[in-house]
Structure 1
Amino acid sequence: MRIQVHDFSGHPFQAELSRELAARGHNVDHVYSTQYGSGKGLLERTAADPEQLGFSPLTTKRPFQKYSAAGRIRFERAYAATWLEHTEQTAPDCVVACNVPLFALAAFKRAAARRKQPWLLWHQDLFSNAISEELGRRLPAPAALVGRAAVRRIEAGVVIGARQVVAIGEEFRQAYREWGLTTDHVTVIPNWAPIDEITPRARDNEWAGLHLPAGEELRLLYAGTLGRKHNPLLLAALLREALAAGLPARLIVASEGEGIDMLREDLAREPELPVTLLPFQAAADLPDMLGSADVLVTILEPEASRFSIPSKVLSSLAAGRPVLGLMPEDNPAAADILAAAGFVGPPTDFGVAAAVGWLRRLHADPAAARAAGMQGRKLAESRFGIGPIADRFETVLRKVVPGPSALSRVRPAHAAAGFRVFPGKAS
């Protein structure tokens, strides 16, 4: 089967799925946006990759304006046009759409219906929830209510328009039913982390030597996006409380955008604080970066809880380090953290204080810290094997494109008739 796996964000585990599908003989074009800032996976071919795998970065002439409503819509329209052009030129049997912004996704859905292009929605987040919250902040209540209903209809239409849906949790299926949708075409496949790529590393590794001071500091690392679903000031509060409790803590944050700018501004009031702020790191450096930490931190605001499952938690488990989460306890990732002997507390001052108490106990008992890391890694190994995960995706893909073509093993991407991998085109 010729498959386009389109992960707008360019994250690591989606790239791992593309590699596995290509290794099974499918012709895979892995598409992603060059303009979205986030921690990226390995998005280029390596010597070990099968010939059936290609990578297609897409770029538009419109800038990505994350927090400008009008600018964001203009970008999404331009991105949809670029994506549609690429899809028409490469002619995949099936498109897998993952993390694509809502308005670009809706434009693709309409075009796919006209062109009879089979496609699968890999639903990672309910975009209409986040957009509705933003409308509530910006508009009077009556206008916000109308806007919420409109974006909910758009997202429901996307769910209906896909031949199959892979949702990352049962909460999505429940939401679809609350919207009045049938769910016969929905399969739940939880997210994972690439455990062959993210492996436990020595604390004092090459990456640590380049970026961190040597010594016995308690390294608290946050790596990933800091968006509207996160309060970056919680990280500063955690550091200050840990230092006040007598812990030799250092905060390390690898991120980009408005969130880290807000954090930098707050921390600048106390320049003596032990802080290391970095941009997103290369995919090849991710295991060493995670391994350099004593504790891996994640944060999530309450309104994002049910439908936003931080993939950074899954990477943290794979890295074999204790995990601290300031997040609602009903988030599915919270259960994973607790199963790995980590800490979960609310994203509040109370939660920060309780987290510091846990850090003190962990710092006083290195054996317990090592055991927690090993427990997380064991949990990751038991759940994140790419073989069984790809089996489930193949089953869904065969429902999207039934018949002999779904099972066929094709020639390499560069040799398949009508299927070419482009380096990304401006629109």
Structure 2
Amino acid sequence: MGAGLFSLLGTASAHAGTHIPLAFLLGAIAASFSVYSYAKLGATFPSSGGAATFAVMSFGPGVISGGLNIFQFIAYLIAAALYAAGFAEYANTLLGGNLSPLEVKFVSAGIVVFCAGIKLLGTNFVGKVEALAIGFVTIALILFSVDGIYVADIGAHKMSSWSINGIAIATGILYINYQGFGVVTNSSNAMQEPRKELPLAMFSALVLVTIAYVLVSTAAILLLSPAQMAAYNGHVLADAAQIVAGKTGFVVIGASALLACAAALNATIFAASNIAADMANKNSISKALGESVLKTGLRSLTVSTVLVIALVLAFPLEVVGKMASLAFLLVYAAITYGHIRVRKQTGAKLWPLWAAIIINLSLFVTLFINVIESARGSAIALIAALIGSFAIEATSRKFLRKKLQAH
């Protein structure tokens, strides 16, 4: 369940208006091709490194796979920063909006540290906490959707104007809500029958969350106008729930948002630190970087936590949300391109892989143009992270070769 559902509806409505459910549906269709690719890769190459392992198996150990995995690691950190910022936004809303911008940032940093601490308690404990949190969130969202659609004056509802470009931008923004399928592959090595269990888990999750997203966003657009959604940006669902059930609805959905953001943050830090440790252990990045930065699981978790806090402090919620979607659209396209190289091993059909690449890159270009126009600094930061990832990999490998030659 993507926590961006709670924090990005206002941002998406600025482009899609009342057509947010359509954007979610298009996002699900787009994600389905990448889910197919990742499910086939995860079933063939089960590993706690997930997509980090896929990159190495597809491109071989070298600058391409190493650079891609460093960028992928950064993408998970950006997503984690989004969830931390979303948590702080809802926490501030529940507290009456009395926190200063600096205090909101401190709340974001605090939840990152808290989730990192939970991760140290082990996978089994984390899994139980995640299940309870998402169970509560799911029940709350179902009740909100049903009651919201029932209470809304459907006859008086007016659809807003729309454009293909606006809906495409909204689809790109909301795409981060489907990022969870990449996280699932990090637990494929813990499955008894990954070839059977992993595709079933990923596709059933895609169907279920899509139904939830469409229902929740439908209730939201029936209860609030695009102008109201823009005004309540960052905490749209809590304000919509207040219309349905007063203060109780406001608090329940606000609490659900906190749980969803914390659960998503925890899962994303888990995936990022797993990828980092896997990169170091399997030398999918250079040995020099692995031994200095990502040598142990604890060190990779610490590095992940510090970098997420830095991102939270540097970028506002709306900007980091777009950056997260952009990063994953690029990663999914690259991993799926690599999948084509090992397609004989996975048994995947060719056309869904090319469909995933074309759709992901099309959404990336559309959203990237929007980000250049609205927040050029974040676009520059993302490109710098991409180029820097490969530069770090190439430099560290060159350094290692010189070191070996010296000995």
Give me the TM-score of the superposition, normalised by structure 1: 0.29
Larger radius of gyration: 1
Q: Which one has a larger percent strand, Structure 1 or Structure 2?
A: 1
Q: Which one has a larger percent helix, Structure 1 or Structure 2?
A: 2
- Structure with bigger RCO (C-alpha 8 Å, 6+ apart): 2
Give me the TM-score of the superposition, normalised by structure 2: 0.30
